[in-house]
Structure formats: C-alpha cells, structure tokens
A and B are shown apart, each in its own frame.
Chain A
C-alpha cells in the first residue's frame, strides 16, 4: 500500500494526491502495513487513472466472488480530468475565494437545480461525481437533521481535482459537453497570494476556460472584513495574470455571493459602494487582459427565508457551458448528423510552462 511523504497529502487515506499527480507522484512511498481497507484500495485504483473496472478480489464478503471496481463518484484527479478533456469537448471552470465565501454552495446549487429540471437550455447528461455532489449537499438537507444549511469545508487536497457533470443542449443536436468544476480551497486562496509557488501549483487554472473569483457578500457587509476580501480578490487575479496561469484564453467572473445579506444593508451604505468599487476595479484592471469579464451577484442558499437566485445561477451556468476562448464553440448540427463523435481532443492539463 502506498502513502505520501508530504504531511498534508491524504493519499494514504483516500487515494487523493494533493498535487493531483495520482499514482505517478514522486512523493509516494510504500507504507509498512498493507491493509485490506477496501475504500483505500478503491480510491487508489481510481486515482491511478487506469482502467477502473479492474477486477479485485472481494475480500469484504465471501472471499470467493470476484468484483469489478466502478467509477468512484468523487472529484476527478487531474489524470482522470485529462482523460475527459481529451475524449470530448470539455469546459474547465476554476472557482476560488475565501473560506466560507459560498463556492461550494454554488457548486451544490448546480447539482440541486438539475435535480429539479434542466438548467437553462442544458439538460443533465451524466456525472462521474454524483457521490461527491450528494455529500457536499448533505448538510443542507432535511434528512441530515441539521437545523440550518451548511457546507463542508473544502480541503486543500481538492485544489487540483474537478467535479464532473456532462450536459446536453436541449436541441439535442450537439454532442455532450463535459464540465469540470475545480473547487480551490479557501485555505489555499490567501496562500496563493502570499506565495508564488502555491499559486503555480494550482494546475487546473492553466487549463481553465473560466476563472470564477467568489467574494463573500456577507463579508462585504462587515466593515472589518470587506477591505481585505476585496483586496484579496484583486490580488489573486493579479497573481494568476503575473504567472501566466490565466490570460486572454480565460474568461473571468467576479461572483458576489450571499446577495441576501448584501440586500439587507441600506442601499446607500458603504458596503454597496465597496462592492460597486470592486466591480469597477475588475472592469478597469482586468477586462483588457482576459478573454472576457462577467460580474454576478447571487444567493445560492439564502438564510433569510427567500429562495435562491435561480435565474441568475442558471445564466451563470449557461455562460460557463456555452463560452470559451480556447476553441470555437460548435454551431448546432443538422439532426441527421450522428452526434457523440469525437470533435475535439486537445488541451490536456499540463503543469508548468510547457503548455
């Protein structure tokens, strides 16, 4: 059984490489004990990027019957994500922001909206991350027994992994689009501003079609936090531009979350001015340096008794799926055309400047 020599890496626990290198990571070492922990085995199998239907002995049950491992249902490691990007037209969205800024709520909202119907013009066509989506959403369900909705804190180990969802346009004439959602931990976000090396290790951002910087609307209401949150949003984008991880190939989004908290503040208050100023700064400083700029204000899981801003979130999702600067988006095909054919096979995830 393998583990990692890096203290922060949980490969030995769940098979997830903190650097997203899977079983090829040079930091992996053989641990002393080989356990039969099936979860570990499964995760390790899944993370190596090889055939996940590999046959293993079913030690947990009879010891006689053979079993086959299925897709793990959690976030895809880079090596798995690369397989997705090489087999089909894929869109990668990196989402970053401070701890508890609402990134995960936004991702969970996409999953919830598909459980209620199509999202805009897009229908659900499959997902390799359904288990993880359900886990993320668990503490926001009545069944969990929680008195108030909350989200799991995203660990750093997911910095270089992606949730997967495939969608299909309602007209039915286009191939499925694979959407990869890279949820960067709120712990990493300030560290990436502090240290160039941390930022450079955010490998998915190099391949990202979209970078969504999420700013906590609740923090913007609080005068003790708003200036730091606003500055960090600007600095984070500046850092990524500086390293070349984003640029004209990237569509930038500024997403102000928890709009319910923002709306509760008087319209002429300083918090609204600060949000407006931040949006202006993004426009002024970045719009000419990236492939496009969008500004959003959303409430994915409002706590004031109102319902989520479904229309805005739908437009945001549709923008993610339908726009990219990396390659031309296909026009609808005539209905007689066989769909599902491979029409794009490119842009694997490559670390460093070798892209």
Chain B
C-alpha cells in the first residue's frame, strides 16, 4: 500500500477562514460522507494543536486568532482513499495571516519558509466572500462631498487593498522560491460562502464568476500566469453559517453536516474535494 507525505501551504490574510477549514477537514476525514470519500485511517501521533480549539470549532464558536509565531508540531492528517487504497500524511501548517501580511509590509521572509516551499504539493489560498477586495475610492458623489475637518492618515501598508497584498504574496512565491513543479496547483478558497446566499445579495453564486467580479486583480493574475499556477476556485463554508445562525439553529447539527463547498454550480459537503485535486488522489 503506497503512502506519501503531502505538504500544503495555506495562504491568506488574517481572519480569512484558514483555521476553521483545517478543523472542518479533520472532522470530515473522521466522519466521511460517502463510502468513496477520503477518510482518516489513523490519528497522527501529535494532535495537540488540532485538539486545542476543537471543542470551540465543534460548538460553532469563533476560533482564536492564530498566533504569529506558532510553536509546536504542524497539524498533520492521515488519510486514505478507499477506492485506490492510497494513503498519505497531509501537513497543513496553520500559518498566521499576519505572517503573509508581514511579507507584504517588510518585503522579506524567513529562509526556513522559503526552503519549505521547495516541498510543496499545492496551495490553498483563502479569501473572504463577505469582505471587499479593494479599498473604496473617493469617486463620484464621495469625491464631491462638502469639505469637513478631516486629515488623511499616513499610508499604512497593512491597510492596502487585500487583493493587491495577496497578489504580491503569490508573486513572492512565484519569483523568489524554487518551487518543486510548474505550474503549481492552487485552490482559491472563498470562505464564508454561505453569505453570498443571504437575501438581497446580488453577488455571483458560482465561485469562478465571484472571483472574476469581486476580486478581479487576483483573478487576472491567476489567468495570466497559468505557467506558474494552475488554479481552481471553490466557495467554502467551514462553519456553515454566521455566528448568529450558528447560535440560532445551525449549531444543532454536527460540524460535518453544517459544512458546504461549491465548485462550479455543484454543491456538496465534501471539503476534501480541493485536497483531492491538489494531491491527485
């Protein structure tokens, strides 16, 4: 029976839904939806990081902010594909979003991080469906408002447009590291996907259309750099709903039944679909 190690990089700015997804996948592997779904065949020796916040995740609570300098073992999930018998160890380092923001601001990264990119099997890039991709311009009516006593704050790179920051983080990976393969597979994970179905929300309901309309700079970059990144776009709801919805009724369901993932116009609960594609299993 073949067994391999797979290292994924989870990229995203702070509070993009990265940690929730790791927890959701972990639960899903232990409670597979169908006989063909990827499943856990055993627990990794050290699950301390995963178990630390597991109770909060399962109860639908907002998870604690991931620390910048996280110590301890990388979250490790052991999985098996029942249809092929293929087994693997999936390493999902829960890198704080601030680490990527630091790269954008400071224009440097740790050499150890750069070295780790050489072993990558793929990238999960997280962004939120309910947050704007760009800063709002003072245009039209906004530019013609009556003058008031307000002073512009100095430029703070951390407040730069989110899609600009993410594009530069991808450029760092593409231009400054020796990736193991080109193109590298990359899944865009649009988290908080449940919010696009809220009443009155006119945003596209197909993830690829959503990215093209709401995050155009990132979308263009991925389309024009197919020799570097081969991408697929998913809408993901790892918690299943907003904190209010979880409080009111969703929290009654077990986590693996609350989750939702959309690819194209197909909706399912199999959050491992992006992993299957990234890992080729």
The answer on A and B forming one complex is yes
Tell which of A18-26, A242-250, A272-280, A297-305 binds the partner.
Answer: A297-305
Partner of A66, one of B106, B110, B142: B110
Task: Assess whether B137 is in contact with A138, with CB atoms less than 8 Å apart.
Answer: no
Task: Assess whether B172 is in contact with A130, with CB atoms less than 8 Å apart.
Answer: no
Tell which of B146-154, B246-254, B261-269, B271-279 binds the partner.
Answer: B146-154
Task: Assess whether B221 is in contact with A70, with CB atoms less than 8 Å apart.
Answer: no
Q: Which of B197-225 contact A (CB under 8 A)?
A: 212, 216-217, 220-221, 223-225
Task: Assess whether B110 is in contact with A58, with CB atoms less than 8 Å apart.
Answer: yes
Known: A69-B108, A123-B224, A125-B225. A144 touches B153 (CB 8 A): yes
Q: Does any Cβ of B come within 8 Å of A135's Cβ?
A: yes
Task: Assess whether B143 is in contact with A42, with CB atoms less than 8 Å apart.
Answer: no
Task: Assess whether A126 is in contact with B114, with CB atoms less than 8 Å apart.
Answer: no
> Nearest-CB distance from A335 to chain B (Å)?
13
Q: Does any Cβ of A come within 8 Å of B65's Cβ?
A: no
Task: Assess whether B138 is in contact with A149, with CB atoms less than 8 Å apart.
Answer: yes
Partner of A303, one of B133, B137, B144, B164: B144
CA distance A66 to B225 in the complex (A): 29
Task: Assess whether A115 is in contact with B142, with CB atoms less than 8 Å apart.
Answer: no
Q: Within 8 Å CB of B111, what residues of A? A: 55, 65-68
Task: Assess whether B163 is in contact with A115, with CB atoms less than 8 Å apart.
Answer: yes
Q: Does any Cβ of A come within 8 Å of B159's Cβ?
A: yes
Most buried by A among B107, B159, B163: B107
CA distance A305 to B212 in the complex (A): 27
> Nearest-CB distance from B83 to chain A (Å)?
35
Partner of B152, one of A56, A112, A150, A306: A150
Q: Does any Cβ of B come within 8 Å of A116's Cβ?
A: yes
Task: Assess whether A146 is in contact with B152, with CB atoms less than 8 Å apart.
Answer: yes
Partner of B143, one of A70, A305, A340: A305
Task: Assess whether B150 is in contact with A146, with CB atoms less than 8 Å apart.
Answer: yes
Q: Does any Cβ of A come within 8 Å of B71's Cβ?
A: no
Q: Within 8 Å CB of B135, what residues of A? A: 137, 141-143
Give the residue name and chain of the A residue nearest to B160 (CB): A134
Partner of B176, one of A70, A131, A168: A70
Give the residue name and chain of the B residue nearest to A51 (CB): B176
Q: Which of B142-194 contact A (CB under 8 A)?
A: 142-145, 147-153, 155, 157, 159-161, 163-164, 167-168, 171-172, 175-176
Identify the A interface with B (CB < 8 A): 38, 42, 46, 52-53, 55-56, 58, 60, 65-73, 112, 114-118, 123-127, 130-131, 133-135, 137-150, 167-168, 172, 176, 301-308, 340
Beyond the given A114-B216, A150-B152, could you list 8 further A-B residue pairs with CB under 8 A, ordered by the A residue number?
A42-B107, A58-B110, A125-B224, A125-B225, A130-B168, A137-B135, A144-B152, A172-B224
5 A-B residue pairs with CB within 8 Å:
A55-B111, A56-B108, A125-B224, A138-B155, A139-B155
A-B CB proximity, top 6 nearest = A146-B152, A305-B144, A125-B224, A168-B224, A141-B135, A149-B138
